[in-house]
């Protein structure tokens, strides 16, 4: 990795802060209880360097529903911390609640001026707007999605890097995530917006399966991005929320090297212990190394998932993820675990997928659960796919490689699925994820040998 002196790095950071406004991103999370009381959490990320405008102790959200007049909600700041980043970034959390007038779809929105004046992929000093759509069911508790991982602020120039915000839903609803255009204070897309500049070997993109963003930045600067997460229940969209972030690209001063598993997908059986090892090294004597982990297994009640770290914080750190999933943890969708390595300048995320089968079911049998059949598995590329309970005339069948690239897509009739459909995967040996979009969006892990 390229080298640069600490003095130049500090100078570049000061140059960015001198041009900055204050808002660098944020998101709105909502929880609704069975009494129709909505609890709001607004998180704002602010440039903490001198010269940036401050944020108050209180702020407000606008709550709207078509045809209904609803008062704004006053939020109180409940905490103020800083992100683990070499660029000083404050995290302000505001909370408040309101009793909703009834059931249905609502929108919570926040706007303020302005975004960072140094942003290069859209107009400077443009307005800042966040919104979250959520559904109230009156007698049921419900949650919007959340992001388990804090934003990553700084990215190295000309280096393939990855970050996973880890969208997660406590209700188990189906989530679809994608990169989107940030919005201005007028609730419209920022004009003349372009994606952050990338090198050909690392185009700015988000993995459709894991949520991981990979990027090789081709130009130093500040860039605004937005992640949109849509929430579906029984095939019906019940909400969406977004996270805005400001990414700062600096010359690569990192000598960090992460040693990770040979494959990002591991398979396990309920009741069997799982151990996955990681290591981060640095030849830079000024490095302050760190390893941490977050992900789906840690969100399970009474989970025994653990990440233990050992070693020196200056030259080598080792980390081991351990988990013995219970029988109730077996499911079709892989669990996501993100391991984050840091060296005091940059952070790097690695996403591990863990497929957990029931302890009395073979891999082939496991892939026949929930009405969706897929066999043989492993296979030579020719597979048979079927669906026991069809509930719509046609389906979209998609196959992704482990990096999230779409390698095959078919529109199939329900009659073909009910009688079992033969599909040829021509992409060669490896691990794939087959996804069938219906009311439950079923997915299976496929291995080609």
What is the average pLDDT across 201-227? 93
pLDDT at 52: 65
Lowest average pLDDT, out of 101-110, 162-171, 201-210, goes to 201-210
Rounded CA separation 169/165 (Å): 13
Per-residue pLDDT of 237-293, as tens digits, reads 899 999 999 999 999 877 889 998 888 888 889 999 999 999 999 988 888 999 999
Per-residue pLDDT of 108-134, as tens digits, reads 999 988 888 889 998 777 889 999 999
pLDDT at 53: 66
Band of residue 8 on the pLDDT scale cut at 50, 70, 90 = very low
The most distant pair of C-alpha atoms in the chain lies apart, rounded to whole Å, by 67
Above pLDDT 70, what percent of the chain?
91
Rounded CA separation 129/115 (Å): 10
Question: Which backbone phi and psi does 329 adopt, to 5 degrees?
Answer: -85, -10
Band of residue 194 on the pLDDT scale cut at 50, 70, 90 = very high
Task: Say whether 360 sits in a helix, a strand or coil.
Answer: coil
Per-residue pLDDT of 53-78, as tens digits, reads 678 999 999 999 988 989 999 999 99
pLDDT at 284: 85
Per-residue pLDDT of 370-427, as tens digits, reads 578 888 878 888 998 888 777 778 888 888 887 777 889 888 888 888 878 889 999 8
Strand segments (E) across 203-334: 205-206, 213-216, 221-233, 236-250, 256-259, 265-269, 274-282, 290-295, 306-311, 316-323
Q: Which residue has the tokens 């859209």?
A: 122
Which residues are within 8 A (CB) of 170 and not within 5 positions of it... i.e. 6 or more apart? Answer: 143, 146, 299
What is the average pLDDT across 86-90? 92
Residue 285: both structure tokens together = 């004597």
In this predicted structure, the answer to whether residue 314 has a pLDDT above a threshold of 50 is yes
pLDDT at 431: 82
pLDDT at 71: 93
> DSSP assignment, residue 35?
T
Distance of CA 272 to the CA centre of its chain: 28
Instruction: Give, in degrees to the nearest 5, the angle at Cα 284 between 283 and 286.
Output: 145
Lowest average pLDDT, out of 90-94, 225-229, 343-347, goes to 343-347
Which residues are within 8 A (CB) of 365 and not within 5 positions of it... i.e. 6 or more apart? Answer: none
Rounded CA separation 25/43 (Å): 8
In this predicted structure, the answer to whether residue 316 has a pLDDT above a threshold of 70 is yes
pLDDT at 17: 37
Asked if residue 76 lies in contact with residue 139, where contact means CB atoms within 8 angstroms, the answer is no
Q: Which helix (H) or strand (E) holds 201?
A: none
């Amino acid at each position: 990795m390229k080298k640069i002196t600490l003095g130049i790095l500090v100078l570049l950071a000061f140059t960015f802060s001198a041009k900055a406004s204050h808002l660098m991103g944020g998101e709105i999370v909502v929880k609704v209880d069975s009494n129709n009381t909505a609890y709001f959490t607004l998180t704002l990320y602010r440039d903490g360097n001198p010269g940036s405008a401050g944020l108050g102790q209180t702020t407000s959200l606008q709550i709207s529903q078509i045809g209904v007049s609803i008062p704004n909600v006053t939020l109180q700041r409940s905490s103020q911390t800083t992100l683990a980043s070499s660029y000083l970034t404050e995290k302000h959390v505001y909370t408040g609640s309101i009793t909703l007038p009834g059931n249905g779809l609502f929108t919570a929105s926040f706007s303020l001026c302005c975004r960072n004046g140094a942003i290069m992929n859209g107009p400077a000093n443009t307005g800042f707007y966040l919104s979250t759509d959520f559904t109230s069911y009156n007698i049921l508790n419900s949650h919007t999605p959340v992001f388990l991982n804090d934003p990553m602020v700084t990215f190295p120039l000309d280096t393939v890097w990855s970050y996973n915000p880890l969208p997660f839903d406590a209700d188990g609803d189906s989530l679809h995530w994608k990169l989107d255009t940030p919005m201005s204070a007028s609730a419209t897309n920022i004009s003349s917006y372009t994606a952050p500049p990338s090198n050909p070997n690392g185009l700015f993109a988000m993995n459709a399966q894991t949520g991981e963003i990979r990027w090789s930045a081709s130009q130093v600067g500040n860039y605004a991005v937005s992640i949109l997460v849509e929430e579906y229940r029984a095939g019906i969209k019940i909400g969406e929320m977004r996270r805005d972030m400001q990414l700062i690209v600096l010359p690569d001063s990192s000598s960090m090297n992460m040693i990770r598993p040979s494959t990002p997908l591991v398979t396990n059986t309920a009741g069997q212990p799982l151990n996955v090892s990681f290591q981060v090294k640095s030849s830079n004597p000024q490095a302050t190394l760190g390893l941490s982990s977050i992900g789906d297994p840690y969100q399970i009640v009474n989970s025994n998932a653990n990440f233990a770290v050992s070693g020196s914080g200056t030259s080598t750190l080792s980390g081991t993820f351990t988990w013995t999933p219970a029988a109730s943890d077996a499911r079709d969708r892989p669990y996501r675990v993100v391991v984050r390595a840091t060296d005091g300048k940059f952070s790097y995320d690695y996403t591990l997928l863990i497929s957990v089968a029931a302890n009395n079911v073979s891999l082939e049998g496991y892939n026949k659960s929930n009405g969706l059949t897929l066999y043989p598995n492993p296979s030579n590329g020719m597979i048979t796919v079927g669906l026991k309970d069809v509930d719509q005339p046609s389906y979209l069948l998609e196959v992704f490689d482990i990096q999230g690239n779409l390698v095959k897509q078919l529109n199939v009739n329900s009659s073909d699925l009910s009688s079992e459909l033969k599909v040829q995967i021509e992409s060669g040996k490896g691990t794939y994820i087959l996804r069938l979009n219906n009311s439950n969006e079923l997915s299976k892990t496929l291995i080609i040998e």
